[in-house]
Amino acid sequence: MTIDISAKVGTVELKSPVIAASGVWPYSEEFWSGEKLEGIGAVCTKAISLAPRRGNRGIRLWETAAGVLNSIGLQNIGVKKFIENYSKLVKNCPVPVIANVVMEAAADTQETLRILKDADGIAAAELNISCPNADGDGMAWGMSCISAAEATAAARKVWNRPLWVKMTPQTADPAAVARAVEAEGADALVCSNTWLGMAIDMASGKPVFDRVVAGLSGPAVFPLALRVVWQAAAAVKIPVVGCGGVRTASDCAGMMLAGASAVEAGSAFFADVNAGKTICDGLPPLIASYGKNRLSDIIGLAAK
């Protein structure tokens, strides 16, 4: 039996359900064409903001027992340089490219999106509402329904291509935030970004990171992210993309059984640069074990 592992997030069609999550896919010819893309359905860019950002000082990555803490701090060269330096990579990329856009002050993010409109080959914008609202209370935009809705509405006003909104898992009520984002016209939800954690350096007895807290990703967060996918998928009609700790075919299928239409994998690539292929190779027997011959047929099966 031939098993179809293609996926679809709204109108964005993917030959595999595995999307390289934002922040882990290097901007180099080697990664944006050819073999490295085997098993990869789409690539998310690193964060893009209006002005360049230097990122955080001090240690930026710290391995933990079951994942990694990062404090990169949205370092990027700004949208204009992004277009100058990478538009050829984006245009020639054989899989859809998703532009990960930092939610800043509304006018700044709108300007970023306006500039990105001129870039050929961007299949969707992924609005990162997990960063602090500098004009508001400093909490991440995605923490409350009101600010998440405000962010989505601001982006929707200027971006007429597919708009994915990347949620923070830290909110107390992901279902309510998911509904608020859907109501403002998002085309898909990505559930979710990293979880706040910290580490102590036992040699110095001090926090590892200059900012003390950092974002936890990797296998440790998989059950947490799965729960957010389950809650969001039950709350909205738009597609949900599962993200957090996905590294095996079972993780991918689990996310899809819980209601995801595709998955993003990030930290998995640190351990296995071919994680996309590894996941795809393991999917057909799993799909067949549910008596199905298409990956899309298992979406939400756990809730039925």
Ligand X SMILES: Cc1cc2nc3c(=O)[nH]c(=O)nc-3n(C[C@H](O)[C@H](O)[C@H](O)COP(=O)(O)O)c2cc1C
Q: Residue 128 or residue 133: which is nearer to ligand X going by CB?
A: 128
The region of 32-40, 89-97, 216-224, 229-237 touching ligand X under the rule CB under 6 A is 216-224
For 25, the 3-state DSSP assignment is coil
CA–CA distances in Å: residue 259 to residues 123, 189, 224, 303 = 22, 12, 14, 8
Least distance to ligand X, CB of residue 268, Å: 6
The region of 114-122, 136-144, 154-162, 215-223 touching ligand X under the rule CB under 6 A is 215-223
Q: Give the N- to C-terminal CA distance of the chain in Å, as an integer.
A: 24
Residue with tokens 């060269």: 77
With CB under 6 A as the contact rule, the residue among 245, 254, 259, 276 that binds ligand X is 245
Question: With b meaning 16 or more CB within 10 Å and e meaning fewer, what string describes 160-196?
Answer: eebbbbbbbbbbeebbebbbbbbebebbbbbbbbbbe
Least distance to ligand X, CB of residue 110, Å: 18
Known catalytic residues are 131
Q: Residue 100 or residue 231: which is nearer to ligand X going by CB?
A: 100
User: 166-185: which residues touch ligand X (CB under 6 A)?
Assistant: 166
* 194 makes contact with ligand X (CB under 6 A): yes
Please list, in sequence order, all residues whose beta carbon lies within 8 angstroms of the beta carbon of residue 152, skipping any fewer than 6 positions away. Answer: 127, 129, 163, 165, 180, 181, 184, 185, 186
* 36 makes contact with ligand X (CB under 6 A): no
* 133 makes contact with ligand X (CB under 6 A): no
Please list, in sequence order, all residues whose beta carbon lies within 8 angstroms of the beta carbon of residue 103, skipping any fewer than 6 positions away. Answer: 109, 127, 128, 129, 131, 133, 141, 151, 155
With CB under 6 A as the contact rule, the residue among 37, 266, 277, 295 that binds ligand X is 266
The region of 1-9, 34-42, 50-58, 244-252 touching ligand X under the rule CB under 6 A is 244-252
- Is residue 64 within 8 Å of residue 41, measured between CB atoms? no
Q: How far apart are CA 144 and CA 259, in angstroms?
A: 23
Number of residues counted as binding ligand X (CB under 6 A): 26
C-alpha gyration radius of the chain: 18
* 71 makes contact with ligand X (CB under 6 A): no
* 260 makes contact with ligand X (CB under 6 A): no
The region of 172-180, 226-234, 239-247, 275-283 touching ligand X under the rule CB under 6 A is 239-247
With CB under 6 A as the contact rule, the residue among 74, 214, 236, 298 that binds ligand X is 74
CA–CA distances in Å: residue 247 to residues 60, 160, 278 = 22, 32, 8
CA–CA distances in Å: residue 183 to residues 25, 177, 216 = 31, 10, 29
Least distance to ligand X, CB of residue 189, Å: 13
With CB under 6 A as the contact rule, the residue among 97, 189, 257, 265 that binds ligand X is 265
Which residues make up the interface to ligand X (CB under 6 A)? Answer: 21-24, 46-47, 68, 70, 72, 74, 100, 128, 166, 193-194, 217-218, 221, 243-246, 265-268
